[in-house]
């Protein structure tokens, strides 16, 4: 009887620790993700995805995981609710012109499918997904050499604690503590936007699957007043960790007074609300400079840190902040430079998403 009572307590414990109704926390049986002994039916359980193929060495993983980042996030996004965001589809994603149309199957960060298929410059060359970049190797454009090929997380990655070696170790204690119903203030890894340590934001619970002005991520940004000003809370500051000369640094941003004169790099963490009432930026997304509809084709960041979606722009101070993701997707797209749209084929074809902000230049 004592054994039975003890067993009942153990069975009930996971239900207490991991409630059934919680957004983006790992739910279900522990064995869906973990393996206690790495053995089932006389065969090893742990299997990793290496360079797009199944690793048959069955090497056990840290944290008793069945697979690695790629193995878990490889699949095809579909209608019906997303419990796992798939960033590497096993079949060609539907992208269309901008990745925001009603038939698309991509998410906010795009997809690694194209770079994994050998189309360089269409995605980040993450180890286990794509070969190292044949032009730049492990030196990110605008930055310095990484210690190794880019990884999903860790010291050579974007996600996780970037001071910790090892992808899985750098992500420890994050998935179970995640809560997508709260503003991510960057204070801990689990409280950082998309596990990008220190970055703030509000996470769309469908990972921007077919987004709309009232259904999208809320990106945090600041309106910088100095060339060298930096804030680790913004998504652009994260990109600048590798691509520094593209985004910040004395002599790399603009000529003369910051925000005036000739730009040497496209501005990031810079609010278009500074523009004069006669400037083209006032007409962002076809608006008139007051309550313009937010564009999911060329999104902007905001200084607001509330849990309310910014469905309009030029409604409050610093809510039209240009960021890296205004033009690019972090994982990949079908287009050169990880651009959100096929600018290279324009004019005469493709799509000019630049015109969402540069309204007089289409």
Across the range 328-344, mean pLDDT stands at: 97
Looking at residue 191, its pLDDT comes to 97
Query: Residue 12: pLDDT above 50?
Result: no
Of 190 and 244, more confident:
190
Q: Is 88 left (phi over 0), alpha (psi -120 to 50) or beta?
A: beta
Of 213 and 40, more confident:
213
Across the range 212-234, mean pLDDT stands at: 92
Lowest mean pLDDT among 41-50, 115-124, 139-148, 154-163: 41-50
Task: Give φ, ψ of 40 to 5 degrees.
Answer: -150, 120
Concatenated DSSP letters for 65-104? BSS-HHHHTBS---SS--SS--SB-SSPPP-TTTS-STT-
Looking at residue 237, its pLDDT comes to 94
Single pTM value for the model:
0.89
Across the range 307-330, mean pLDDT stands at: 97
pLDDT tens, residue by residue, 63-96:
999 889 998 999 999 876 678 999 999 899 999 9
Looking at residue 311, its pLDDT comes to 98
Query: Residue 9: pLDDT above 50?
Result: no
**Alpha-carbon span 319 to 335, nearest angstrom:** 28
C-alpha distances out from residue 342 to 127, 292, 339, Å: 26, 24, 7
Query: Residue 47: pLDDT above 50?
Result: yes
Query: Residue 14: pLDDT above 50?
Result: no
C-beta of residue 233 within 8 angstroms of C-beta of residue 199: yes
Q: Is 228 left (phi over 0), alpha (psi -120 to 50) or beta?
A: alpha
Asked whether the CA dihedral 158, 179, 188, 202 is positive or negative, the reply is positive
Query: Residue 2: pLDDT above 60?
Result: no
Strands (E), 161-253: 201-202, 218-219
Looking at residue 17, its pLDDT comes to 37
Looking at residue 8, its pLDDT comes to 37
Pick from 7-21, 53-67, 332-346 the range whose average pLDDT is largest. 332-346
Looking at residue 57, its pLDDT comes to 63
Looking at residue 228, its pLDDT comes to 77
* SS3 assignment, position 322: strand
As a whole number, the mean pLDDT across the chain is: 88
Across the range 321-347, mean pLDDT stands at: 97
pLDDT tens, residue by residue, 247-264:
766 666 666 677 777 777
Radius of gyration of the chain (CA): 22
The two tokens of residue 16 are 């207490």
Q: Say what the alpha-carbon torsion angle 78, 83, 84, 89 is, to the nearest 10 degrees.
A: -10
Looking at residue 61, its pLDDT comes to 85
Query: Residue 46: pLDDT above 90?
Result: no
Percentage of the chain beyond pLDDT 70 is 87
Lowest mean pLDDT among 23-27, 231-235, 291-295: 23-27
């Amino acid at each position: 009887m004592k054994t039975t009572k003890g067993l009942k307590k153990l069975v009930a414990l996971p239900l207490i620790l991991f409630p059934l109704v919680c957004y983006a926390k790992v739910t279900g049986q522990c064995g869906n993700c973990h393996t206690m002994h790495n053995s089932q039916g006389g065969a090893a359980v742990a299997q990793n995805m290496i360079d797009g193929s199944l690793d048959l060495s069955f090497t056990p993983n840290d944290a008793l995981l069945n697979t690695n980042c790629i193995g878990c996030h490889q699949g095809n996004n579909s209608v019906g609710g997303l419990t796992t965001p798939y960033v590497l589809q096993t079949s060609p994603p539907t992208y269309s012109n901008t990745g925001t149309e009603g038939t698309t199957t991509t998410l906010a960060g795009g997809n690694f499918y194209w770079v994994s298929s050998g189309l360089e410059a269409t995605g980040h060359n993450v180890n286990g997904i794509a070969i190292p970049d044949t032009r730049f190797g492990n030196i990110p454009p605008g930055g310095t050499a990484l210690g190794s090929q880019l990884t999903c997380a860790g010291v050579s990655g974007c996600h996780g604690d970037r001071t910790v070696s090892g992808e899985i170790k750098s992500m420890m204690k994050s998935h179970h503590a995640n809560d997508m119903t709260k503003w991510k203030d960057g204070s801990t890894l689990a409280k950082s936007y998309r596990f990008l340590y220190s970055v703030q934001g509000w996470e769309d619970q469908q990972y921007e699957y077919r987004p709309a002005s009232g259904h999208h991520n809320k990106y945090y940004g600041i309106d910088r007043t100095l060339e060298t000003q930096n804030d680790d809370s913004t998504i652009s500051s994260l990109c600048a960790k590798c691509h520094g000369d593209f985004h910040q640094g004395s002599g790399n941003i603009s000529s003369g007074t910051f925000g005036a004169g000739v730009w040497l790099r496209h501005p990031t963490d810079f609010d278009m609300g500074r523009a004069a009432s006669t400037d083209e930026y006032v007409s962002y997304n076809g608006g008139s400079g007051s309550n313009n509809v937010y564009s999911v084709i060329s999104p902007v960041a905001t200084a607001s840190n509330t849990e309310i979606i910014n469905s309009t722009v030029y409604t409050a101070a610093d809510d039209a902040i240009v960021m890296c993701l205004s033009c690019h997707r972090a994982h990949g797209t079908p287009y050169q430079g990880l651009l959100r749209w096929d600018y290279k084929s324009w004019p005469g074809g493709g799509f000019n998403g630049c015109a969402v902000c540069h309204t007089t230049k289409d």
